[in-house]
Amino acid sequence: MEILNLFRVGTILALVYLVLPLYVTRFGGKYKTGWLNLVGPVFLRTALFVQISVIALGQWRLCLPGTMGALYFFWILANTWHSYHSRWMYQSIEWKYRWSRILKRLEPKTGKGPVRVTSISPQSAIAYVLISFIFLQTAGFPVANLRFLTPESYGRALSIGTLLQGSTWTYEGSIALLIPAAFWTGLDAATVVRLSGPVILLALLFACWHCVKSFGGSWRSAFFAISLFWIASRWFQLNPGEENTARDLAALFLLLGISHLRTSYGYAAISLLLVVMVNPQLDAAYLCPLLAVFAGLALEKLLVSLPTFVSRPATAGLLLAAGLPAVIGAGPRLASEPLQYESAARAVYEIAAQFPRNQWTVVSPGNELAQIYGRGWHVQLSEFTSRHKVEQVSQPDFQFPYPTGHVFVFVEKKPLPVKAMAIYSNGDEAAYNYATQSGRIALEYQAAELMAAYVGAHRNVSVFGEDDDLIVYHVQPTPVKVTK
C-alpha cells in the first residue's frame, strides 16, 4: 500500500512540476530544441510559481484545492500562451482547425502508425542503475514505517495540515512545493511529507547529473558525482531523502542555479531565490552535492589526461570503488531516537481508515497530532490526565466530555525513551511531560491509572490495539445522530 502511495506522490509531483508544464511549453512546436534542455527552466518556473502562490494564499487562508487548482490551470494556460506563436487561444480558426483534427482521429484507421522507441545508451544505464539503488535505499524506511524520524517532519506535516484546512498558517517555505501533492494525491499531509523525501532525493540526483552536463561532463562525471555525494552524505550523517525536505530542496535549487549560470542569469537568479525561500537558514550541507559535482568533473578530467592504457583500468576501478559503497549503502547512518512508537502511528492510520472523518478523538502525546490533523480530533494526554481524576472516572455514570462517537486513548506500557530536548523550568508542563524521561513516565502512569479506573466501571470501552509498548483503548460514548 505504501509503495502505491509513493507512486502516487511521485506521479503527482512529476505531473505538476515537469510533465504538464513541459508538454504545454512544447505545445505548438515553437521550441525546436530537445525537451531535455527545457526540463530545468520549466521546473524552475513552475516551482517559483507554486512557491509564491502557496505563500500568498496561505497567508490569506485561501490555499485550498480549488484556488490552487484554478491558479495552476491558469499557469499552464500561460505556458501555452507563451509557447505558441500564433496565439491559438483567442483565434477561432485555430479552434476550428483543432476540432477538425479531433474529428479526423475518429475516422476509421487504415494502418498502425510508427512506434517510437527512446533509446538509453549502456553507459547512461549504469548511472540510472546507481540512481535507482540509491532511491530504493532511501525509500525503504518511509515505505516500511509510518512514523517520522525528525521533529521537523512532524512540524512540517502539521504545517501542511493547517494549510489544507484553511487555518492560520505560519510561514514554512519548505512545504509549499509539496502542497500540490497534498491536494491531488488524496493522501494525508503526514504521508505526503514522509513519502516526498525519496522523490525529492531523486530530483536532487538528476540535478547533480544536469549540473555535471552543463559543465561539459559526461556520464562518468555524473556517476562519480552521484556516488561521492551519496557516500559523503552518509558519512557526515546528512541522510538526504529522509524527510529533511528543506535541505534537499535547497541543495536541488542551488545545483540548478549553478548549472544555469552559464546559460541564463535569469534562471540562476530564480534558483537562488528559491533556495532562500525554501530554507532561509543557510546550511553548509547544501554544498555537499555541489562539491561532489566538482569532484566528479575533476576526476573525469584527471582520467582523460592519463594515457589510454592507464585510464581505462583506472576508470573501471574508480567506478567500482565509488559505485559499490553507494549501491550497497555502506557508511554510518544517523541512528535517530524514535519520537513516537511505530505502533502508535499505525494505530492512528487504522483509526482514520476505519472510522468516519471527524467522528473520533485521539488522546495521546503531541506527536500523533501531525497524523491526525484534518481527519479527527486530538487531545493532549497531559490535558487528559490533568482534567480527570481517578475518583471521577470510576463513577459508572461518568462520560468523557468529547462530542465524538469514538474516543481512543493511547497509553504507553513502556514509556518512550526520551532524549532530553528541553530543560524543565517552572511552569513549563509540556516540556516536562514530553521532553523529559521522568515527566513522560509520570504522565503515562497517570493515564494508565485513569484508564484502569474507567475500564473497571464502564462497559463501553474495549482495547483497539495492543503490543509490548502500547495499548490503545477505544471508548464509545453514545453516538450523536444528526438528521436532515
Partner 1 sequence: MSASLPACLEQAVDRKPRHDAYDLAIHMELEGVTDQVAQSVYGYAGTLEMAQAYFQQIAMPRPKVAAPGISQTLLEYFKGLAFALPVLISAVVMIRFSLSLWGGPISIEDAAAVAIGTLSSFLVTGGLVQVMAWRVLFLLTTGDPGTAASTCGLWCRRGVLALFGSGCAGWLVNGFFGWMPDSLALLAVGFHLALGMLWLASGALYVLEGMLWISAATAVGLAVAGSLHYGLGAGLYLSQFCGLGAAIVISASASYIIFRKKAGNKFPKGERIPRPRLVHTAAPYFLYGLLYYCFLFADRWIAWTGKTASETLPIFFRGDYEAGLDVALIAFVFGAGWVHASTQSFFATMQRALSEYLLNQAAEFNRAMHQFYLRRLLLFLPIAVLTCMLVYWTGIRLDVLSTMVMRKVAATALVGFLFLVIGLWNASLFFALSLPFHTLRAMALGLFTDLVVSYICSRTGHYSDSVYGFAVGACCFALWSSWMCSKELQKADHLQFAASV
The contacts of residue 167 (CB under 8 Å, 6+ apart) are: 61
- Under the binding rule (CB under 8 A), the answer on residue 91 touching partner 1 is no
What minimum distance in Å lies between the beta carbon of 377 and partner 1? Answer: 9
What residue type is assigned to position 183 of the chain?
F
What minimum distance in Å lies between the beta carbon of 61 and partner 1? Answer: 9
Shorter beta-carbon distance to partner 1: residue 31 or 74: 74
Considering only 166, 329, 331, 465, the residue that binds partner 1 (CB under 8 A) is 166
What minimum distance in Å lies between the beta carbon of 418 and partner 1? Answer: 32
Q: In angstroms, rounded to a whole number, what is the distance separating the alpha carbons of residues 216 and 141?
A: 35
CA atoms within 13 A on the CB side of 297: 17
CB-based burial, 35-61: b 16+ in 10 Å, e otherwise: eeebbbbbbbbbbbbbbebbbebbeee
What minimum distance in Å lies between the beta carbon of 160 and partner 1? Answer: 14
Shorter beta-carbon distance to partner 1: residue 99 or 128: 99
Q: In angstroms, rounded to a whole number, what is the distance separating the alpha carbons of residues 366 and 340?
A: 9
Q: Which of residues 53-82 bind partner 1 (CB under 8 A)?
A: 62, 64, 66-67, 70
What minimum distance in Å lies between the beta carbon of 258 and partner 1? Answer: 39
Instruction: Print the binding letters for residues 322-361 with partner 1: x by CB under 8 A, - otherwise.
Output: ----------------------------------xxxx--
What residue type is assigned to position 274 of the chain?
L
Q: Which of residues 359-378 bind partner 1 (CB under 8 A)?
A: 359, 374
- Under the binding rule (CB under 8 A), the answer on residue 403 touching partner 1 is no
- Under the binding rule (CB under 8 A), the answer on residue 110 touching partner 1 is no
- Under the binding rule (CB under 8 A), the answer on residue 186 touching partner 1 is yes
For partner 1, which stretch binds (CB under 8 A), given 103-111, 115-123, 277-285, 463-471? 103-111
- How many of the other CB atoms lie within 10 Å of CB of 245? 25
**Nine cell digits for residue 102:** 479531433
Considering only 1, 90, 93, 106, the residue that binds partner 1 (CB under 8 A) is 106
# residues contacting partner 1 (CB under 8 A): 24
Considering only 86, 167, 438, 462, the residue that binds partner 1 (CB under 8 A) is 167
Shorter beta-carbon distance to partner 1: residue 116 or 357: 357
For 361-430, the DSSP string reads EEEE-GGGHHHHBTTBEEEEHHHHHHH--HHHHTSTT---S--SSEEEEEEESSPPP----S---TT-HH
Shorter beta-carbon distance to partner 1: residue 107 or 397: 107
For partner 1, which stretch binds (CB under 8 A), given 97-105, 215-223, 268-276, 429-437? 97-105
What minimum distance in Å lies between the beta carbon of 111 and partner 1? Answer: 18
Q: In angstroms, rounded to a whole number, what is the distance separating the alpha carbons of residues 28 and 456?
A: 73
Instruction: Print the binding letters for residues 19-48 with partner 1: x by CB under 8 A, - otherwise.
Output: ------------------------------
Shorter beta-carbon distance to partner 1: residue 12 or 200: 12
* CA-wise closest residue to 264 among 214, 212, 319, 218: 214
Q: In angstroms, rounded to a whole number, what is the distance separating the alpha carbons of residues 104 and 313?
A: 58
CB-based burial, 317-354: b 16+ in 10 Å, e otherwise: ebbeebbebbbebeeeeeeeebbbbebbbbbbbebbee
- Under the binding rule (CB under 8 A), the answer on residue 101 touching partner 1 is no
Q: Which of residues 406-445 bind partner 1 (CB under 8 A)?
A: none
- Under the binding rule (CB under 8 A), the answer on residue 282 touching partner 1 is no
On whether the CB atoms of residues 224 and 300 are closer than 8 A, the answer is yes
- Under the binding rule (CB under 8 A), the answer on residue 103 touching partner 1 is yes
On whether the CB atoms of residues 351 and 360 are closer than 8 A, the answer is yes
On whether the CB atoms of residues 376 and 362 are closer than 8 A, the answer is yes
Name the residues that contact partner 1, by CB under 8 A.
8, 62, 64, 66-67, 70, 99, 103-104, 106-107, 165-167, 186, 356-359, 374, 481-484
